[in-house]
Structure 1
């Protein structure tokens, strides 16, 4: 890569003077990164005009070519400014710079985009509504006053409306909206902030709202439709509203009865819902406590959902996050959201308009058909959404805002691999929290969150996401990496497609994703703790310590295994994990109550053996008395953490010894007594569990260090979404001299598994 310093050094060399005796030169820069859909070309145009540089700028298949002629000193200033003064959303990289022959350009121009194969493309993300567009939204003298689809080069939808590259209007879902004369003039004016803002529109020529309430006439006028939606919300209604990446269900976040009705209709009794706060009224400050990292994440242009501690007396419904002490807070990111919140004046529940676990819905007819018994009304618009994008979710853990879900604004994620592939590789990810990933040469792209692949619609979106990535980047996959579990939908798809398949063990993929994020580390001890993943020995792993690096992981540590009565049923029935753990050590917990299950357990019927930390968390939640049955994935561990978060408890020492195959095995058996100790409150028992596991992890790390000298520890897998456990483990490890890393750009959960599969499988192709 040629950086600005190399460019300047080249320009320092003397050149031939022009007719006036000035030392002039001509240079050609090739710029990559996020340089399309973010106002980069008009920025280059204005910069060149201001400095008197002649030449042109042009989009070419994801790259931008810049040719400049002029005095060497001015070209040096120009080259430096290309990087230092780029628009806020741009992320340019100068990948080549060459001095070329003078073509004697008369001026500086923006040339029409040149089509290419797409492999060098960088898809722009969907971004929040910028300050300039918000100002227009609230100014009665502006022609876009209160227009819900206002945008410019620095904001608005991108990824969700791109049909193909290059990113030009004709290649987006805005192609069907002919620009009016005023919008066309802005679009074609290089000095205007809407110059080549591909979704540019106004009330005269752009998308429009329509409000539809069952039993009433449609409200087709945009302003009237918006008002009708607000009235329905104020009356206690639930409205499905089409946004940037799909539909949300909106409801009054302060009304207990509305929340209860929403949960009943959606069959979602406990799973927390996000809350979108109005910019006015002080609601956000009254509802949550924000440290610097959480506040920065909340106000980031991505505008994600950020998990933050709830305050007492917030005015919000207790039904927002049952059993928890955090809520998912978010700010409005589209003009439509701003307008709704301005006029409603209170926080709104904003939850994906889907059936449980499925991708968010994007089509009006489909949302009305599938959610007709959930929503009291629908606010549609006619700008097509070409691919769904759920909201991103972050949580501050160990001082940094870390993603739990990659979605709108944050994905697709683009990555430079630490090696070059011999052939393009597609990775199908996991069964839960699915993403897919594509890699070619040294580039990788990770899709937004798709979800649980257990439904036909999710599998259809999964296949669409694959087709989209291949088509958008013009890449043909020549091999597929998938999870080693043959029952995962992504693995079945990979086996049926007819390409060479590289099966990647689940926890090695977790460890490799983390290692690729921190490529400066040579040798790792990566603790991959999660629910379950098929291990090399046919058992269900999930509490593993892996030593090495991508392509060369060896299992060094594990947790004591136990049998799961009912197998997959245990994922939504924490009492089964509790029973399996207790019966493993001879504890008689609920044998009489579950005699038939105990009989099956004794005969080892549908009782797979597991070392999964996630199932141990489920067991603890049941033993503490928090819940027996879970209504959503991860409920037991989430409630267990919430119960423990304001309590301190000394750890129970857990035995550590080499097992029969030479692994440092941590024995959780002493925890059963502590967890069932009725003389202690539930909060103390939950806190004791977290503290004991954190100290046990430290003991395992120390044991491996004594043998190998390893000093870098990684924490990955869904269990480390638990802030309490993660922060205790990080503190203990760092105090003991370890350098600890956690994922920062990708989720620690299965959302990063597709990327880890690329890295693990690709390491053997270098």
Structure 2
């Protein structure tokens, strides 16, 4: 017989996903002898057999791997025949640690849930049931290789039954590192806000009972705590909002099943596949009218975030008629998600009536991911459970740490040509947020084994992330905020040639010291030229102007010669006068080209939002008033000043105020404003295309979370023959900029 022998090296997400038993059984099926083992972060297979069998084996190995795996690179090298007698699974070693790929946490699989519901099963009603197809990964890993000793499960010694499953290559729990059962694994505990515990085994029934009574429960899940109440109890939801200090921001709904979601939302096939997949993100869907649940769930928006149960514990909470649970991050507004029992008890005692906890540690807190579907494609709004860490192939050469921005923070690490972007960390301009930022950097560096020689950071002089610089050696590279937005999209779509970048957001420090936010660039992944922007306006009030949109409206009105007291009559005259005087004397003022402040101004002038309780509230409410049947638009001209194009807003405000005066419906005014901005942006891009001969256009920045703005601009630009790209896997908001920083810093160092 023609016996051949090969060493096969697989790199990617190949650990903790059932790859070794898969290889073992595939080898037996094809009469292959040899071995398989985890070598550092790689999977090594030595395979001997008849050449035809080897070909079939390798083909199936590469083209039909386990569902949770992700193969990044395959190396096949012929070797001398070693005359193996059988095929075996060997112990892991730490030899091959060059590339480390970390699996994300995924939802419980159907097979495990069948066992949870089976009264004859060892896992009957056990909330921590998992196998190689499901369960925690990133949130419990401490270091590589992904073996039990390097996870939070090292505290739980397997019983004889679980150990047999773990060591049996024919068992789906073979080397499932978090595997356990009620005899040897984590357990629940239920107690009230003053620490009184409830009887063992009654935790879930007690939680269900209290939820039905309108109580709020803090529940420890895969990546941290949630605050939960009955989604059909308006008073409970109002109480949760009051206690959490979250008066208006939409709350997510976990529904019992797909049919329950269909009763409250519209859903297409793509959206259903995402909801029912193994990542189980929060998905933004259009509400049905009338909306079955209370308006207080998601006021002032036509969408609501919904998701399905993703742990056995979640499934078991849907009892006794409960079909919808409000499930929001276990934190107080603007603080990071709680993930440790004692800290959660302290931080959330003023919010939760009861705590449903467990004794499995979380090493890395991971919030729920948020997704929307745009042009029938998945678009990531928030990177979290199921999606983090986001690992992307880049053409970077150096080991880089990128510190991200101030809000919606993520951090990224570059190593061996890959970028590793962390989970969403939220705002870091407070002590808890900054501490979480530092811990995440430490953990991401550890699990990737990176030794950053370059540190990339936002050039804003007041950003908290700059404080991290003193913790690291290496070359420090400042990166302009909007260039990072642009490059985050370029890196995702593998764009190498110069592009036209259109970056719309709220706040970004500019090269001229102004606050940018309505930008047009010509640039590459290394550098850029600013060629256009929204005309500057002087805004008074610093951060207060962001929190109170009426201030931005006042500044626009004053600059254009209108009397703010006439158009902002609901604001106290004394407040208006104070800001007007400060503006006149240039006290605490800054010039900005921010599209975000323009949206705020229009929202305030229409009486939609004078003071925000969450980021971009005014703009979100404004978008949700649009009447898509309205095709008219306000005029936003383009002027040229000293070689720089500017979008002018003079005629916009003249026409808009005229419509307000004659009481044109808000929906019509909002539509005409959006359409005017879209037309002006289109015209600017066409001019730049004509001048520079560039046909690839990149759209990025938080304002493009506005779906009407994004989709209509994409449609128009494509109709003009341009190629249009926008962020999809990498968030289009500030969560994406750490990846852009990483690529830019690497390019700058390369020269």
CA contact (8 A) 1:525 1:701 kept: yes
Q: Deviations over 1:492-546 (max 9, x none)?
A: 2215644321000000000111111111452211101101100000000010011
TM-score (normalizing by structure 1): 0.95
CA contact (8 A) 2:520 2:533 kept: yes
Instruction: Find the partner of 1:192 among 162, 171, 177.
Output: 171
CA contact (8 A) 1:55 1:109 kept: yes
Instruction: Find the partner of 1:621 among 603, 610, 615.
Output: 603
Say if 2:27 is the partner of 1:48. Answer: yes
Aligned mates of 1:220, 1:60 — CA distance in 2: 45
Matches within 5 A, 1:595-614: 595-614=577-596
**C-alpha displacement at 1:473, in angstroms?**
1.8
- Which residue in 2 is equivalent to 1:333? 310
Say if 2:426 is the partner of 1:451. Answer: yes
Say if 2:283 is the partner of 1:299. Answer: no
CA contact (8 A) 1:486 1:492 kept: no
Matches within 5 A, 1:89-108: 89-108=68-87
- Which residue in 2 is equivalent to 1:240? 218
**C-alpha displacement at 1:397, in angstroms?**
2.5
Say if 2:732 is the partner of 1:748. Answer: yes
SS at match of 1:319: helix
Q: Which runs of 5+ in 2 are unaligned?
A: 567-572
Instruction: Find the partner of 1:577 among 539, 552, 556.
Output: 552
CA contact (8 A) 1:398 1:726 kept: no
Aligned mates of 1:586, 1:299 — CA distance in 2: 55
- Which residue in 1 is equivalent to 2:325? 348
Matches within 5 A, 1:51-66: 51-66=30-45
Instruction: Find the partner of 2:346 among 341, 362, 369.
Output: 369
Aligned mates of 1:523, 1:267 — CA distance in 2: 45
Say if 2:203 is the partner of 1:228. Answer: no
CA contact (8 A) 1:117 1:474 kept: no
CA contact (8 A) 1:83 1:93 kept: no
SS at match of 2:92: coil
Aligned pair count? 740
Aligned mates of 1:33, 1:344 — CA distance in 2: 43
Matches within 5 A, 1:205-224: 205-214=184-193, 217-221=196-200, 223-224=201-202
Distance change (3 Å), C-alpha of 1:214 and 1:507? closer
Instruction: Find the partner of 1:407 among 371, 384, 389.
Output: 384
- Which residue in 2 is equivalent to 1:635? 617
Distance change (3 Å), C-alpha of 1:718 and 1:242? same
Instruction: Find the partner of 1:155 among 127, 134, 137.
Output: 134
Instruction: Find the partner of 1:507 among 464, 479, 482.
Output: 482
Distance change (3 Å), C-alpha of 1:117 and 1:663? farther
- Which residue in 2 is equivalent to 1:673? 654
Say if 2:523 is the partner of 1:544. Answer: no
Distance change (3 Å), C-alpha of 1:195 and 1:220? farther
CA contact (8 A) 1:25 1:71 kept: yes
Q: Deviations over 1:11-49 (max 9, x none)?
A: xxxxxxxxxxx1111001110111111111110011001
Aligned mates of 2:95, 2:532 — CA distance in 1: 49
**C-alpha displacement at 1:673, in angstroms?**
3.0
SS at match of 2:581: helix
Q: Deviations over 1:55-97 (max 9, x none)?
A: 1111112111111000000000001001222111111244311
- Which residue in 2 is equivalent to 1:732? 716
Aligned mates of 1:574, 1:682 — CA distance in 2: 17
Say if 2:544 is the partner of 1:563. Answer: no
Aligned mates of 2:56, 2:425 — CA distance in 1: 44
SS at match of 2:451: coil
**C-alpha displacement at 1:254, in angstroms?**
1.0
Aligned mates of 1:599, 1:520 — CA distance in 2: 48
CA contact (8 A) 1:157 1:199 kept: yes
**C-alpha displacement at 1:399, in angstroms?**
3.0
Aligned mates of 1:507, 1:367 — CA distance in 2: 36
CA contact (8 A) 1:119 1:475 kept: no
Matches within 5 A, 1:386-397: 386-397=363-374
Distance change (3 Å), C-alpha of 1:434 and 1:104? same
Which region of structure 1 is more displaced relative to structure 2, 495-504 or 167-176? 495-504
- Which residue in 2 is equivalent to 1:5? none
Aligned mates of 1:497, 1:523 — CA distance in 2: 32
Say if 2:227 is the partner of 1:249. Answer: yes
SS at match of 2:285: strand
Aligned mates of 2:627, 2:332 — CA distance in 1: 31
CA contact (8 A) 1:430 1:750 kept: yes
SS at match of 1:475: coil
- Which residue in 2 is equivalent to 1:482? 457
Distance change (3 Å), C-alpha of 1:310 and 1:412? same
Aligned mates of 1:329, 1:146 — CA distance in 2: 25
Say if 2:287 is the partner of 1:310. Answer: yes
- Which residue in 1 is equivalent to 2:468? 493
CA contact (8 A) 2:4 2:81 kept: yes
**C-alpha displacement at 1:461, in angstroms?**
0.8
Aligned mates of 2:613, 2:7 — CA distance in 1: 59
Q: Which runs of 5+ in 1 are unaligned?
A: 1-21
Say if 2:256 is the partner of 1:274. Answer: no
CA contact (8 A) 1:117 1:473 kept: no
Matches within 5 A, 1:709-724: 709-724=693-708
Instruction: Find the partner of 1:473 among 440, 448, 452.
Output: 448
Say if 2:692 is the partner of 1:701. Answer: no
Aligned mates of 2:690, 2:387 — CA distance in 1: 40
Distance change (3 Å), C-alpha of 1:217 and 1:493? closer
**C-alpha displacement at 1:116, in angstroms?**
4.3
Q: Deviations over 1:569-618 (max 9, x none)?
A: 11111111111122222222238551111111111111100001111111
- Which residue in 1 is equivalent to 2:741? 757
Q: Deviations over 1:293-317 (max 9, x none)?
A: 3222222221111111111244312
CA contact (8 A) 1:48 1:108 kept: yes
- Which residue in 2 is equivalent to 1:8? none
TM-score (normalizing by structure 2): 0.96
**C-alpha displacement at 1:118, in angstroms?**
4.1
CA contact (8 A) 2:396 2:743 kept: no
Which region of structure 1 is more displaced relative to structure 2, 391-400 or 709-718? 391-400
SS at match of 1:730: helix
Q: Deviations over 1:277-333 (max 9, x none)?
A: 0027x3211100112332222222211111111112443121101111110011111
Which region of structure 1 is more displaced relative to structure 2, 211-220 or 237-246? 211-220
CA contact (8 A) 1:118 1:472 kept: no
Instruction: Find the partner of 1:435 among 402, 407, 410.
Output: 410
- Which residue in 2 is equivalent to 1:17? none
Distance change (3 Å), C-alpha of 1:147 and 1:496? closer
SS at match of 1:564: strand
SS at match of 2:284: strand
Say if 2:376 is the partner of 1:420. Answer: no
**C-alpha displacement at 1:358, in angstroms?**
1.8
Aligned mates of 1:579, 1:314 — CA distance in 2: 36
Aligned mates of 1:252, 1:531 — CA distance in 2: 35
